[in-house]
Amino acid sequence: MDDNWTPTPPPHGPSGAYRAPSPTTPPPVDGAPAPGRGPRVVLPVLVAALLSAGLAAGGTALVIDREAAPGTTTTVVQEAPPVDEASVSEAVAGDEGDGPVAAIAGDTLDIAQLYEKYGAGVVRVEHSQGLGSGFVIDKDGHILSNAHVVDGAQGTISVSFSNDERVEAQVIGVDNATDVALLKVDLPASALTVVPLGDSTSAVVGEPVVAIGNPFGQDRTVTSGIVSAVARQIEAPNGFGINGVIQTDAAINQGNSGGPLFNMRGQVIGINSQIYTGGTGGGNVGLGYAVPINLVKEVVADLMATGTAQHAWLGVQLSDVDPTLASQVKIGTDQGAMIAGVSEGSPAAAAGLKGATGEITIEGKSYAVGGDVVVEANGQPVASIKDLQAAVTALEPGDELKLVVKRADGSTADITATLGNQPQDPTALAR
C-alpha cells in the first residue's frame, strides 16, 4: 500500500462518527451509521505541493515520502525512543501482571487462551458523548485509552468491566500529540486484571496479533489478524503526527479505539486508534493503526508525574535527499534530510536554519530545493529524515541539538538549536 495519503480525523458532534452510547444498540446493518466512539477514521487526502500544504505539521513535520506518488506528502512526527524502564515511576513498575513497563517473557498463547487470561482487563469507556475501549495497566487502577475517546466528555466518564461492574473514572492526563489518555478507577487490586505491556519495536511484519475492544458497543469483541506493516504515520488529534505506528488487518471498528493490540505472548504492542476507510463510509477495510506501546510508555510516565506530556520540537519540514536529486542538483551530498520549510518562531528559525527556496520535478516526483541539508546530528550521520527524527526524540525540550548542514551555496555550517516543546496548534505556525 502506498503511503500517498494524509490521515485526517473524523467529524465530531451529533452528525459525526461519535454518538451517545446505547448498551442495547445492535451493530449497524446495510450501511447504517455506526454508533460509538470508534477509531479515528483516516481518509485519503491528496496534497498538491509541499510548500503549500500545512508547513506547521510538527517537530519534523510535513515531509515528502520518497515512495509516495508525485506531488503527495505524508505527515510525520518524532517517535519516542524505546523506554528507559528506570525512568518510569514506581507506580507503573512491578512484576509480571503488576505493571506495564517491561515486556515479559512467555509462551505463545492461542487466541482463546489470550482472551481467557487478559480479556477481563479490557474495559468499556463511555460518557454522554460516546464510547470506546481501554485496558488496565496496573493494580493501582490505571487504565489506558485514546485521547479522542475522552475528548469532549461532559460530566462523568465511566468504565465498565467484564463482570458488569461500572465505576466512575478519573482522568489523570491526556496527550493529544500521541492520542493517549490515562484514566484511574478506585477498585481493590483483587478486582483488576492487569494487561502487560510489551515492546512495540519487536513487532514483525506477518506475525499474528489480536485486538480486543467494544466495536459498536459490542463488549470485549475479539478479532485477529497480522502485523501488516510497521513504521507507518498517522495524524494525532492535535494535528501533528504519530510515527512508528503499527498497521494491522485485524478488524477494528468504531468503539475499538483505546483497546489493546496484543502479540501472541499476551503483551500489548499498541493502542488501536485509527482505521483507513478508502472512502467506504467508515467501515473496516482491513487497514487499522495502533499507536506503538513504547511511545505510550514514555507518555504514561509523564502523565503520572505531571498530568501532561512534553515532546521535543525543532520546527522544520523535511524531505529526503536521494541520489536522483543529487544527480540533478549540486547539493554536496547524495543523502541527508533537506529542510523544506522552517516554522516561524520555531527553534529552527532561531538557530538560523534555512528552508527551501523552490521545488523541482524529476521523473514525475517533486523535490524541495535550496534549503539546508542536514547531514549530521549530535555527532551521528543523518542519511534520511528518520535519522534526524531519532536525534530529536532522544532529547527533551530545552536540550541542544548540534547539526551539520550543507548549504545551497556549497558551504558547510555548524548549527546549534535549542529544542522547544511541541506547540498545541500546528496550524497556527503556518500563519
The residues that are catalytic are 148, 179, 257
- Selection from 101, 102, 117 nearest residue 266 by Cα: 117
Per the listing, cell 468503539 goes with 255
Per the listing, cell 541539538 goes with 401
In angstroms, the CA 349 to CA 342 distance is 6
What nine digits make up the cell of 91? 507506580
β partners of residue 313: 420
Alpha-carbon distances, residue 45 vs 18, 42, 48, 341, 382 (angstroms): 21, 9, 10, 21, 29
E-strand ranges in 74-165 read 74-75, 122-127, 130-136, 142-145, 157-160
Non-local (6+) Cβ contacts of 30 within 8 A are: none
Per the listing, cell 508547513 goes with 55
Alpha-carbon distances, residue 283 vs 2, 35, 42, 288, 323 (angstroms): 20, 12, 11, 11, 40
In angstroms, the CA 8 to CA 16 distance is 13
Chain-centroid distance, C-alpha 278:
20
In angstroms, the CA 87 to CA 419 distance is 21
In angstroms, the CA 399 to CA 418 distance is 6
